[in-house]
Chains A and B, each alone.
Chain A
Amino acid sequence: MSALDLAQKLTAHFGDLLTIAPEFRSEITVQVADAQKIAEVCAFAKKELGCDYLIDISSLDHYGDDPRFTVVYELSGIGHNTHIRLKTNVSEEKAELPTVTSVWRTANWHEREIYDMMGIRFTGHPDLRRILMWDGYPYFPLRKDFPLSGKPSDLPEVAFTKPAPLEGGPFVTVAGGKDSIAREPRARIPEQD
């Protein structure tokens, strides 16, 4: 079964909810229009299409655009070994979508990581708390408006952070672009807030 077959079976069942994006590097991406339906789509993919192996969940932050976030699910199946990608957009105001932990238990830690790094909440998650940063850390570091050098934070008797000096940068240059201070998050002094 090819990835396109999988995608077509999904669209045949869910109709307008799904759109198949143009193939890129022989990978099929299916866009789910309503983030609230993602768990339903995933459960169908697992039960009817044999996608019993969730490889990964990742998230994108399109800072400045609306909807701001995208959550990306990489599905595969041990039986057919076909990779398919599901994507759904989440707005900044809501920043919430249903969990898929009841479909695959491995989603538990992936969703916790996304909550930790991007601040997207998963409704119905059994244990939604930070995983890589410590409990009580106030920011979501993978968001695009979080500077690379970090922001100061303080949690008495637990942990603290200070911006990193980052001397020796910048590492990326674009010909004719802005100067390094304006362009580079790592060279910028984080806003004092």
Chain B
Amino acid sequence: MPESLAPGFPNRISRFFLNRMSTVQDIEFKDAAARAADAFAGNPQLPEDGEMVGEKMVLNMGPSHPATHGVLRIILELDGEIISKAVPDVGYLHRGDEKIAENMTYNQFIPYTDRLDYLAPLANNVAYVMAVEKLLGIEKQIPERCQYIRVICCELGRIQAHLLGLGAFAMDVGALTVFLHTFTEREKIYNLCESLTGARFTTSYTRVGGLSRDIPPGWVEQLRQFCDEVVVNFDESEQLLTRNPIFVDRTKGLGVISKEMAIDYGLSGPNLRGSGVDHDLRKKSPYLVYDRMEFDVPIGSVGDCYDRYLVRMEEMRQSVRIIRQCLDQLPGGPINVSDGKIVLPPKDKVLTKMEELIHQFMLVTQGQNAPAGEVYFGAENPKGELGFYICSKGGGTPFRMKIRSPSFVNLSVLAELLPGHMMSDTVAVLGSLDFVMGECDR
């Protein structure tokens, strides 16, 4: 421990945890003969109620455990098969996105948002540029067509993320088939992403003030066809799970988060709604054109793993409903704001006109000139409320950007949720919380 390096660093605490971090831990096990000798000596290890006291065992779950969906590590203290204490340990995927953001223009950070919740990059792109547009004060100028396309992006992202969340959840509790079903559909979404953005995975589709490109010809029809196909898949997956006694046994009544606890822990998204809290930012503080959409917000009643599963299942159906409405109402017109200081001008004009050339040069070298001030914008993403707090002191780069990641907040409940559960139920609880470590660790 380099004590001289950190002034004010509480050495006592860190030493304590340094000891715990070593991979080998001494656990005292008395063998049967020793226990018998103790019992013989009138020192029986029996409490008053007659139950045997087991020795506590510390089990490291993760960071590379298939049920942790990435690199979550939980230090479990087990009493037999019952968890008596759980210490989640995050940060294995920390890349310092917030530090990186301070050194870039606003548009340059968009590719980094793909890598937050990498199961729904389109939705992250939208949430981020909406925050920057709020800072620039141009959110009212965004063309209608762009807003509709962004809503489609958000909902495609939601379907994409929930399909994986459900498939992996079902797989963790032993139903492998569902995973294969949902991944067939996810593959189609990747194809749609590819024709929309040029990339299957890291889409970087939005730009501050608009989109990187308009939707390609024929894409609307492809998306309509996908909507028709995916609802069939929802029914199939639901047939495999919702009334499946094994699945119900493994999820019902497990990991119950009460309404009060969910709010106090700041949970968001399906995890909050699964606990019976009617809170959806798309309804409560509508952004884009969500106020024109007709959709229902499913909420749970118990707050257990099964409820969270049901909420996600229904949310995907509602997303398809929203996408269909968007496609019906999709207007024509431009996709970018007509401000040369916000959005790059078309290339042919850059090469022929002086003013556009200057705009292009200024945007690429300095970025959008944001006013001094601070904004917070939160969007209802698949995992919950993805928020960006941007503090600007003027100029093209943020002074500080804080990412409020839903997975990080949702995971903080684990320390209180897990104790009392069986060790094998941990995977069900983790699967139902549906987190992404890329977003949690940033």
Chain A residues lying within 8 Å of B365, measured Cβ to Cβ, are 173, 175
Q: Is B90 part of the binding interface, using a Cβ–Cβ cutoff of 8 Å?
A: yes
Chain A residues lying within 8 Å of B263, measured Cβ to Cβ, are 52-53, 78
When the two chains form the complex, which single residue of A24, A81, A95, A104 contacts B8, counting CB atoms closer than 8 Å?
Answer: A95
Bound Cα distance from A58 to B277, whole angstroms: 25
Chain A residues lying within 8 Å of B385, measured Cβ to Cβ, are 55
Chain A residues lying within 8 Å of B21, measured Cβ to Cβ, are 134-135, 158
Q: Is the CB of A131 within 8 A of B90?
A: yes
Q: Is A105 part of the binding interface, using a Cβ–Cβ cutoff of 8 Å?
A: yes
Chain A residues lying within 8 Å of B108, measured Cβ to Cβ, are 171
Q: Is the CB of A55 within 8 A of B266?
A: yes
- Given known A138-B6, A171-B105, A172-B103, contact A25–B134 (CB-CB < 8 A): yes
How would residues 157 to 193 of chain A score, 1 for a CB under 8 Å from any chain B CB and 0 otherwise? 1100000000000011111000000001110000000
Chain B residues lying within 8 Å of A58, measured Cβ to Cβ, are 389, 400, 402, 404
- Given known A54-B266, A155-B1, A175-B366, contact A185–B103 (CB-CB < 8 A): yes
Bound Cα distance from A55 to B14, whole angstroms: 28
Bound Cα distance from A119 to B9, whole angstroms: 8
Chain A residues lying within 8 Å of B216, measured Cβ to Cβ, are none
With both chains docked as a complex, state the minimum distance between the C-beta of B407 and any C-beta of chain A, in angstroms.
Answer: 11
With both chains docked as a complex, state the minimum distance between the C-beta of A157 and any C-beta of chain B, in angstroms.
Answer: 8
Q: Which of A128-157 contact B (CB under 8 A)?
A: 128-136, 138-139, 141-142, 146, 148, 153-155, 157
Q: Is A99 part of the binding interface, using a Cβ–Cβ cutoff of 8 Å?
A: no
Q: Which of A35-67 contact B (CB under 8 A)?
A: 52-56, 58-61
How would residues 84 to 104 of chain A score, 1 for a CB under 8 Å from any chain B CB and 0 otherwise? 010000000001000000001
Bound Cα distance from A81 to B278, whole angstroms: 11
Q: Which of B376-406 contact A (CB under 8 A)?
A: 376, 378, 385, 387, 389, 391, 395-397, 399-400, 402, 404
With both chains docked as a complex, state the minimum distance between the C-beta of B89 and any C-beta of chain A, in angstroms.
Answer: 8
Majority SS at the chain B contact face: mixed
Stretch of B76-84, B93-101, B339-347 at the chain-chain interface? B93-101
- Given known A172-B397, A184-B103, contact A56–B387 (CB-CB < 8 A): yes
- Given known A55-B387, A133-B94, contact A61–B400 (CB-CB < 8 A): yes
- Given known A78-B263, A104-B264, A136-B18, contact A171–B104 (CB-CB < 8 A): yes
Q: Is the CB of A74 within 8 A of B389?
A: yes
Q: Is the CB of B14 within 8 A of A148?
A: no
Counting contact residues on chain B (CB < 8 A from A), the size range is: 35 or more
Q: Is the CB of A24 within 8 A of B284?
A: no
Q: Is the CB of B285 within 8 A of A109?
A: no
Q: Is the CB of A135 within 8 A of B103?
A: no
| Size of the chain A interface, CB-CB below 8 angstroms | 57
Q: Is B373 part of the binding interface, using a Cβ–Cβ cutoff of 8 Å?
A: yes
Q: Which residue of A lies closest to B365 (CB)?
A: A173
When the two chains form the complex, which single residue of A25, A109, A117, A139 contacts B408, counting CB atoms closer than 8 Å?
Answer: A109
Q: Is B17 part of the binding interface, using a Cβ–Cβ cutoff of 8 Å?
A: yes
Q: Is B409 part of the binding interface, using a Cβ–Cβ cutoff of 8 Å?
A: yes
Q: Is the CB of B98 within 8 A of A142?
A: yes
Q: Is B219 part of the binding interface, using a Cβ–Cβ cutoff of 8 Å?
A: no
- Given known A135-B18, A136-B18, A175-B366, contact A81–B285 (CB-CB < 8 A): yes
Q: Is B325 part of the binding interface, using a Cβ–Cβ cutoff of 8 Å?
A: no
Bound Cα distance from A153 to B442, whole angstroms: 21
When the two chains form the complex, which single residue of A83, A106, A158, A184 contacts B264, counting CB atoms closer than 8 Å?
Answer: A106
Bound Cα distance from A154 to B1, whole angstroms: 9
Q: Is the CB of B441 within 8 A of A132?
A: yes
Q: Is A27 part of the binding interface, using a Cβ–Cβ cutoff of 8 Å?
A: yes
Q: Is A20 part of the binding interface, using a Cβ–Cβ cutoff of 8 Å?
A: no
| Max chain A Cβ within 10 angstroms of own Cβ: one of B91, B135, B441 | B91
Q: Is A4 part of the binding interface, using a Cβ–Cβ cutoff of 8 Å?
A: no
Q: Is the CB of A78 within 8 A of B376?
A: no
Chain B residues lying within 8 Å of A113, measured Cβ to Cβ, are 408
Q: Which residue of B lies closest to A70 (CB)?
A: B391
Q: Is B33 part of the binding interface, using a Cβ–Cβ cutoff of 8 Å?
A: no
Bound Cα distance from A75 to B108, whole angstroms: 29
Q: Is the CB of B91 within 8 A of A148?
A: no
Q: Is the CB of A53 within 8 A of B266?
A: yes
Bound Cα distance from A54 to B100, whole angstroms: 26
Q: Is the CB of B2 within 8 A of A155?
A: yes
Chain B residues lying within 8 Å of A136, measured Cβ to Cβ, are 1-2, 14, 18
Q: Is A72 part of the binding interface, using a Cβ–Cβ cutoff of 8 Å?
A: yes
- Given known A109-B408, A158-B18, A173-B366, contact A81–B284 (CB-CB < 8 A): yes
Beyond A106-B412, A138-B2: 17 further Cβ-contacts under 8 Å? Answer: A53-B263, A55-B387, A55-B404, A60-B399, A104-B264, A106-B265, A109-B411, A128-B13, A132-B442, A135-B13, A135-B17, A136-B2, A136-B18, A139-B5, A171-B105, A172-B366, A175-B365
B residues with a Cβ closer than 8 A to A are 1-2, 5-6, 8-10, 13-14, 17-18, 21-22, 90-91, 94, 96, 98-100, 102-105, 108, 134-135, 137, 261, 263-266, 277, 279, 284-285, 365-367, 373-376, 378, 385, 387, 389, 391, 395-397, 399-400, 402, 404, 408-409, 411-412, 416, 441-442
The 8 closest A-B pairs by CB, nearest first: A106-B266, A138-B5, A58-B402, A132-B91, A56-B404, A109-B412, A135-B17, A132-B94
A residues with a Cβ closer than 8 A to B are 24-25, 27, 29, 52-56, 58-61, 72, 74, 78, 81, 83, 85, 95, 104-106, 108-109, 113, 117, 119, 121, 128-136, 138-139, 141-142, 146, 148, 153-155, 157-158, 171-175, 184-186
